[in-house]
Chain A
């Protein structure tokens, strides 16, 4: 079964680009444009990795973290995606439980490599 990535992002252009990249590199992708949609996918499909944009319209992406942290069973790896490359944002994401922070645009091959690493660690659990 292909690893399942939940992409939480509100911009259609970015969703298209990242979905193409992720699908073509051997992943199954669900996209959510709001926190409510993301929570639904999380409870119904238990994704392996969540790529979480921090600014979703008027919503703060990190508001998803309490539901992630309350997951029963294996918790998905959450990676924050942001356009703001500053230490405060980084610290806020790590404190909320994100594995790391990636600044957009993420280099395609780098994302592919990092996903393989995270999914490998998860499989080893």
Chain B
């Protein structure tokens, strides 16, 4: 085989590779553009849906709070239902928007120093009425002397809120729900906090453990009718945990309750 022939083939292959590289770069740019457009679209839709909901909820609160005159208890309950439905819809719109930002890699962390106990307390307070309504036994156990977290407080509270919300939704009245925070086994990157949100609810069959973390997935259609989520809660929780370089997983079997665990590396504030 002559040298000139080899040079010709090499040049031809190089040109082909360069052409393929260009095509790949073009495709990557196109995909990025599409993801950005999709996020912008979801962001606009979210704003447009929130606006009329704002009017509905504000009018409801004017009535419920007696600003136009006292209502009977039954009337208050009815208006409370309108407000509750509206707020639930707002939360769902918020989840869709958060998911879209995560999918477009637009989520960032705003780190501050705080104790995990304060975030747990905040989330428990928010869920107090739901826990009481279902007559659940909610217990919190926080190991003494845990170091503070240097993390995104809102996102940690969001993770806890999604996990606790699921635990409450999928546990029958009279059941138990718990949150435990302790030191986890250190990883090669250092110390971690281990947080568990557990329940004595309906549980998840092992073959469905991966499915529950997928977007828009709910294992049981009849459960999803009772459960008020978008099917994004656990996908978002996992995204938020991973943004902190932590890990989220579940241990559960059908009818035996569920135990969700996540780790958050302990970092010191700069």
Interface set of A (CB-CB < 8 Å, partner B): 11, 13-14, 16-18, 20-21, 24-25, 55, 83-85, 87, 104-109
In the bound assembly, the distance between CA atoms of A11 and B52 in angstroms comes to 8
Residues of B within 8 A of A13 (CB): 51-52, 54-55
Size of the B side of the interface (Cβ < 8 Å), in residues, is: 22
In the complex, the answer to whether A83 meets B59 with C-beta atoms within 8 Å is: no
Residues of A within 8 A of B90 (CB): 105
Partner pick for B58 among A83, A87, A108, CB 8 A cutoff: A108
**B117 CB within 8 Å of chain A:** no
Partner-binding segment picked from B29-37, B62-70, B171-179, B240-248: B62-70
Q: Known contacts A17-B58, A20-B62, A24-B68; decide if A105 and B110 are in contact (CB<8 Å).
A: no
In the complex, the answer to whether B51 meets A11 with C-beta atoms within 8 Å is: yes
Describe B's contact surface by its main secondary structure.
helix
In the bound assembly, the distance between CA atoms of A113 and B94 in angstroms comes to 26
Known A14-B54, A107-B61; further 9 A-B contacts with Cβ < 8 A? A11-B55, A17-B62, A24-B62, A25-B67, A83-B46, A83-B54, A105-B61, A105-B86, A108-B67
In the complex, the answer to whether B57 meets A83 with C-beta atoms within 8 Å is: no
Show 13 A/B contacts (Cβ-Cβ < 8 Å), sorted by A.
Answer: A13-B51, A14-B51, A14-B54, A14-B58, A21-B61, A21-B67, A25-B67, A83-B46, A87-B110, A87-B154, A105-B86, A108-B62, A108-B65
